[in-house]
Amino acid sequence: MKQLSNLYRRRIEPGRVGSPELARNLSELSHDIRREISVLIDRRGRVVSVSVADAKGAELPSVRMGETRLAGFHLLHTHPKGGPLSKGDLTTLFMKRLDAVAAVEVKGDGLPGNVHVAHLTPPGSTGEEEDWRVYPPVSPYDIDELDLGAQVSALEEEIARASTLREAKKDRERAILVQIDSGQFDAEERLAELAELARTAGADVAYKELVYRRHLKPGTLVGAGKLEELTSKAYHLDADVLVFGQELNPAQAREIEAATGLKVIDRTQLILDIFALHAQGVESRLQVELAQLRYMKPRLLGQGTQLSRIGGSAGSAAGGAIGTRGPGETKLELDRRRINDRIAFLEAQLREVATRRGERRKRRERNAIPVISIVGYTNAGKSTLLNAFTHAAEEPRRVLAENKLFATLRPTSRQGFLPGVGPVVFTDTVGFIRDLPTDLTRAFRSTLEEIGDADVLLHVVDAATPGADTRHDAVTRILQELEVADLPTVVALNKADAADPDLLAREMERLHGLPVSAARETGLDALKARLAEVVADVDAQRVNDEHTREANLTAERQAYGL
Ligand SMILES: Nc1nc2c(ncn2[C@@H]2O[C@H](COP(=O)(O)OP(=O)(O)OP(=O)(O)O)[C@@H](O)[C@H]2O)c(=O)[nH]1
Ligand SMILES: [Mg+2]
């Protein structure tokens, strides 16, 4: 013990890996106790920590990725069984951003053998190249030959230069996407969808990967080895965010964050973020904030200081980093005690809005104009179709349609016309997505329930993007949950202009859909004719029902002799 603590008094020449004396000292101690010994040395040549452990087990400062500097320490340790730097040594070098890692082999007689040294390579080195540079072994008497200080400052300069360059040209965050494939048939589609979500949320996708795992690791889902790989990717591709395609529980998110030093976001957060970006109007803002608070509440437990980071983005919904945006004026800087109050307040507000909307709905009912609700997966082209149907090409009647997920959050109604039927109301709604986060479904429930007021549903399917079937089925499932699936439904296979003809033909058969292109305005007449038929059927049914009711009433009256 005494000898170990004496190590703290050792000083070496600044900028060197070690001294021959220190190498000998470590080697002999290590030989005596038959264990590895690690010392951490700072740039002034002082020993700042001593551990009886290998590189992985040594006491090391914690780091955050994305910093432009290295740790400011290098690790010198012994290999009592001899041998060069191990994979574990090199991983520690990389993960802890050490200035360098060095190992002194211990010979049978306790004297020091060869010394092995490695340091990091600059970020951006691509391809097969490793994250580190390993020097040829040197004798312990030459351990102070290498000018480590010069190497490290050159490396740091390069890291800093690369990062200024990056900062100058990047206004979007760069993300690494991970979708876990546990054997789902639509895993590829989910990954592609995750990329679309990330893009819509304002991130650039630096890299994306489908990770096959039949069994998930409880803490990190994918395991420590995979996380190391991803950290390395992030280092070279200059990414700062890791996005997971499934919901992470609070403990998992924290563990992955700690292991990688990256900001970690899950799919739900991404979707909430997009909703926050796109929310316009009082109701959607309230709904989004409510969903965000409900999602965050359990995640604030024991987070203390990190809380400020969540709302720490630049005020407006448009600014700030992904996964951190708040809707409208209210930033999510509330502490937990106030969250419950805020949730109760939002719920009350939303109830009020819903009541007012209910009254508006009743007024419209009296008009007895048939209502057609346009539903479908997000980005299917619902808004574009509404515009095409209602000839609202010119502002300001035009509804926002763009290549972003969840562009529409607020239901919009427009009057249109169907041949043989006359005026009808088309309602554009918020798009659906598979595994819609439950907090969002709950928050948007009143908006979604309005779909049930329709006489007919127009289900728009994007036939040009792979996976039309699964998206169609996901929408049908949500319609079932909303208990509106039994409304008469017409399926439009949109983006026919860009669809593969064979696939389109198959979908026409499977879904009994009509091919259209909302953007090119083709196939719209046939679609209108089909809608007119169905609306007429509904009307006839209604008239029929009324007749039956009348007839029943008359029969009743007669029975009672009235
Ligand atoms: N090629 C092609 N693209 C289309 C067509 N219709 C719509 N789009 C494009 O698809 C994207 C999404 O269109 P939107 O109308 O915003 O889709 P949406 O269903 O309202 O989407 P959300 O409101 O986000 O759920 C836009 O980039 C449109 O230009 C079409 O017929 N053909
Ligand atoms: Mg839309």
* Ligand 1 probe mutation, 196, 278, 284, 384, most atoms within 8 A of CB: 384
Residue 470, domain CATH: 3.40.50.300
334 lines ligand 1 (CB under 6 A): no
Which pLDDT tens digit goes with each residue over 183-223? 888 899 999 999 999 998 889 999 999 999 888 888 888 99
pLDDT band at 92 (very low <50, low <70, confident <90, very high): confident
Residues 396 and 534 occupy one common structural domain: yes
Report yes or no on 311 lying in a domain. no
Q: Which atom of ligand 1 is nearest to the CA of 405?
A: 24
Residues 408 and 517 occupy one common structural domain: yes
Report yes or no on 319 lying in a domain. no
Model confidence at 317: pLDDT above 60: no
399 lines ligand 1 (CB under 6 A): no
CB burial string 432-460: b at 16+ within 10 A, e below: bbbebbebbeebbebbbebbebbbbbbbb
Model confidence at 390: pLDDT above 50: yes
The helix/strand/coil state of 462 is strand
200 lines ligand 1 (CB under 6 A): no
Residues 242 and 156 occupy one common structural domain: no
Residue 180, domain CATH: 3.40.50.11060
Residues 377 and 525 occupy one common structural domain: yes
- Answer whether 214's CB lies under 8 Å from 182's CB: yes
Q: Which atom of ligand 1 is nearest to the CA of 387?
A: 15
Query: What whole-number distance in Å separates Cα of residue 413 and Cα of residue 371?
Result: 9
The helix/strand/coil state of 481 is helix
Least confident of 68-77, 475-484, 550-559: 550-559
ipTM score for this prediction: 0.99
Give just the sign of the alpha carbon dihedral 184, 186, 189, 193. Answer: negative
Residues 186 and 223 occupy one common structural domain: yes
Name the closest-CA residue to atom 14, ligand 1: 381
Which pLDDT tens digit goes with each residue over 18-52? 999 999 999 999 999 999 999 999 999 999 889 88
Last residue of a domain, one of 150, 166, 182: 166
> How many domains, in total, are found in the chain?
3
Q: Which residues have C-beta under 5 Å from ligand 2, the single-atom ion? A: 382-383, 407-408
Residues 233 and 95 occupy one common structural domain: no
Report yes or no on 333 lying in a domain. no
- How many angstroms does the Cα of residue 376 sit away from the middle of ligand 2? 9
Query: What whole-number distance in Å separates Cα of residue 19 and Cα of residue 25?
Result: 10
Which pLDDT tens digit goes with each residue over 289-308? 898 888 888 777 544 434 33
402 lines ligand 1 (CB under 6 A): yes
Residues 181 and 98 occupy one common structural domain: no
Name the closest-CA residue to atom 7, ligand 1: 381
Last residue of a domain, one of 112, 140, 166: 166
Residues 186 and 243 occupy one common structural domain: yes
- How many angstroms does the Cα of residue 124 sit away from the middle of ligand 2? 39
Name the closest-CA residue to atom 30, ligand 1: 495
Last residue of a domain, one of 140, 166, 192: 166
* Selection from 438, 427, 498, 429 nearest residue 468 by Cα: 498
One DSSP character per residue, 306-338 reads GHHHHT-S-SSTTSS-TT---STT--S---HHH
User: What domain range includes position 203?
Assistant: 170-270
Residues 8 and 95 occupy one common structural domain: yes
113 lines ligand 1 (CB under 6 A): no
Report yes or no on 324 lying in a domain. no
Rounded to two decimals, the pTM is 0.74
Tokens describing residue 263: 């900001």
Residues 22 and 118 occupy one common structural domain: yes
What would the mean pLDDT of 258-285 be, rounded to a whole number?
86
Name the closest-CA residue to atom 29, ligand 1: 402
Mean pLDDT taken over the chain: 83
Tokens describing residue 421: 């039927």
Least confident of 3-17, 190-204, 326-340: 326-340
* Selection from 389, 440, 380 nearest residue 414 by Cα: 389
- Answer whether 452's CB lies under 8 Å from 357's CB: no
Report yes or no on 288 lying in a domain. no
Residue whose pair of structure tokens reads 């448009």 in the numeric block: 318
* Selection from 287, 324, 313, 283 nearest residue 201 by Cα: 324
Report yes or no on 231 lying in a domain. yes
